[in-house]
Every structure is written in C-alpha cells, then in structure tokens.
Structure 1
Amino acid sequence: MKKVILSLAAGLFSLASFAQTWSLDKAHSNVGFSITHMMISDVDGSFKTYDAKLTSTKPDFTDAKFEFSAEVNSINTANDMRDGHLKSPDFFDAAKFSTVSFKSTSIKKGKGQNYTISGNLTMHGVTKPVVLKAVIKGPVENPRSKKPMMGISATGTVNRIAFGVGTSGATLSDDVAIKISGEFNKD
C-alpha cells in the first residue's frame, strides 16, 4: 500500500512539475489571412496587435489550452483605404466588435508534430466552432536565455458570412484562409 501511495504521489508531482504556461514571443510570430478577390487573385492581410497563451500539464500538449486574441483596428492589408473599409460596419465593425478571439476546446495529437486544435472563434460578436490543423515544434532550449521555447503553426478556413462579416457576392470569397505562426517561451 505504501508503494502505491508513493507511486501516486510521484506521478502527481511529475504532472505538477510539468504544469506550464507559454507566452507568445511577438517578435517571432504572425497572424495572417488570405481572401480571394474577384475570384481571380488572393489578397493577404494580417493583424498587427495580438496575443496568445498556451497552458499544458502534459509534455505532448494533448491537454493544452490555447487562447488567442487580435485587435480588429490593427488589421493591415497594405492598403489604407481597404483597411478602413474592413474596419467599418460593412465588415468587422471595429467600433462595436474590437477583437477577434479563439479559445481551444481540445487538442489532438496526430502523427509526428501534427495536431488538430478545435475551439471556438468569436468574430463580429458571433461565436462558432472551428478546427485548425497545427504543427507543434519543440520544446527546445533557447541558446541565449537557456529557457524552453516552442513553435506552433496553425492553419484553417472560416466562412466570414457565417460570422456576419460582409456580404456574399462575386467580389470576395466567402471563405477566408487563416494562418497563425507563433513562437512561445515558457514562463
């Protein structure tokens, strides 16, 4: 009985000692999107102001919680007039809905470094489930700080019309490709 209790205590200590929070290194991260214009060309954009956090108690990150948010007013498509239109009530309505956010509900490990991250995306005041394909690299030791670091690249597609962002038509595709690439440091 004593061995069972010691073994259980060691297991709990091991999980507790792995419990960790990872913060985003914004200098080595990017939040981008791409939409098809006039059904012939892709227009890329990004959010300049964003943050993300990951917490996990398992080394394989299968119990991780991933949270992300971006400020709509930081949208950048390299065209000021288009950016202003995207921030207007015609699309994101930044004055009313200032952030886009995502909170994971589950993370499933696939082969190698591949994962599936399911969660809820809130955009334009509407929350819907989305699934992202992800690659998690690391953790590795940062050669300068000697602290653990890791990277996550996640991609997916969302239907902007389902979130009330703009209207459907021949000018813009309803689907928007999203790509998030983040480098995280262990707190």
Structure 2
Amino acid sequence: MKKITIIASLLALSATTFAQTTWTVDKAHSRVGYSVSHMTISEQEGNFKGYDVKITTTKDDFSDASFDVTIDVNTIATENEMRDKHLKSADFFDAEKFPTITFKSTSFKKVSGKQYKLTGDLTLHGVTKPVTLTAVYNGTVENPMSKKPVAGFTITGAIKRADFGFASAMPAAMLGETINLRASGEFSK
C-alpha cells in the first residue's frame, strides 16, 4: 500500500511539474512591427494589425518557453494607405502569394538577468531561415482587473532582406538591406 501511495504522489507531482501552460497574446497591449532604412536618410516603420502569438511553457520562469507566431501580411499598417497597398504587392511582400509570416521557436536560452536568446525558423516571402532574436522577459504580474497572471516580453532582432528574397529589385540606396524587427506584448494564461 505504501508503494502505491508513493507512486501516486510522484505521478501527481510530475503531472503538476510538467503541465504545459499556454499563454496567449493580449492584442490591446501588444505590437508586432519593423523598421527599415529609406534612401539611407530615414527609418520607415510599420506594424501588423493581424497576428497570433502563443507561448507554451512548463516552467514559471519561461526558461523552456516555445514561441509560435503567425502574422497576416494583409494587415500591414504604415499610416499611408498607398504605401500599404504597394507593400502588399509582388514588389515587396506579395501578400496574394505569401499571405502569412510565421516564426516557430527552436530554442529559448537565458543569457543573463532577464535577457534570453530566442532562436527559431522564420518564414517570410516563402523562404524559411533560422534566425536568432533577443528576448527580454519583463516579468509576470497579476492583472488587477482580471486577477489573472500576465507576462510581458520585448523581442528585437534584425534580418537581411536578401536572405528571404524580399524586395530583391529594390536597390540598397532606396531600401536598406537590414530589416529591424521589434515586438512587445503582454500574455495571459
């Protein structure tokens, strides 16, 4: 009888310890965007209004977190309707042919303090390449309204547009070769 109790206790403990938690993005307090040099003299910024981000983890400190991101290219917003339409065209995102951008993490490793290295596969313009981003875990607090835990992250990085065959007809003097990525958000259980 004692063996059964010990085994049952261990099974209950391991189920609790290894239970996977999914955190979903709070879009009212999140943003997914980019910036890129325009004619070498300014930064053009944009963001996407339609996206989904899920984080799954078994640990409270997110040290084993997995990130899954899907972005709807047709929701690009640069505060200029003509530019948005052009960015959706075959000259840039080719939204008709490649309607989504995805990122699926393969690794989330602590660097120091609240900083992590987030590595995963980015699919953009029909090309999938591994990328490494910087993630800052801003902490977890209880939302005073919902009384639920909320976690915050800021993620930054850069990619080369040529690696993804993106806007390949645009000369570097017109459109920078490096696209800077920035996402910040709140996530709840």
Q: Which amino acid aligns with 2:153?
A: I
Aligned to 1:159: 160
Q: Which amino acid aligns with 2:182?
A: K
Once the two structures are TM-superposed, the CA of residue 71 in structure 1 deviates from its matched residue by 0.8
Once the two structures are TM-superposed, the CA of residue 121 in structure 1 deviates from its matched residue by 0.4
Q: Which amino acid aligns with 2:89?
A: S
Q: Given the alignment, which residue of 12, 15, 18 partners 1:16?
A: 18
Identity %: 52
Q: Number of aligned residue pairs: give it.
A: 185
Once the two structures are TM-superposed, the CA of residue 6 in structure 1 deviates from its matched residue by 6.8
Q: CA RMSD in A?
A: 1.8
1:180 aligns with 2:183: yes
Q: CA offsets per residue over residues 79-134 of structure 1, 9 Å max, x none?
A: 11211111111111000000111000000012221111100000111000011101
Structure 1 stretches lacking a partner, 5+ long? none
* Cα distance in 2 between the residues matched to 1:131 and 1:59: 23
Q: Which amino acid aligns with 1:76?
A: A
Aligned to 2:129: 128
Aligned structure 1 segments of 4 or more residues deviating by more than 2 angstroms: 1-11
Aligned to 1:119: 120
* Cα distance in 2 between the residues matched to 1:138 and 1:62: 12
- Shifted more, 92-101 versus 60-69: the winner is 60-69
Is the partner of 2:134 in helix, strand or coil?
Answer: strand
Aligned to 2:142: 141
Aligned to 2:31: 30
Once the two structures are TM-superposed, the CA of residue 8 in structure 1 deviates from its matched residue by 4.2
Alignment TM-score, normalising by the size of structure 2: 0.91
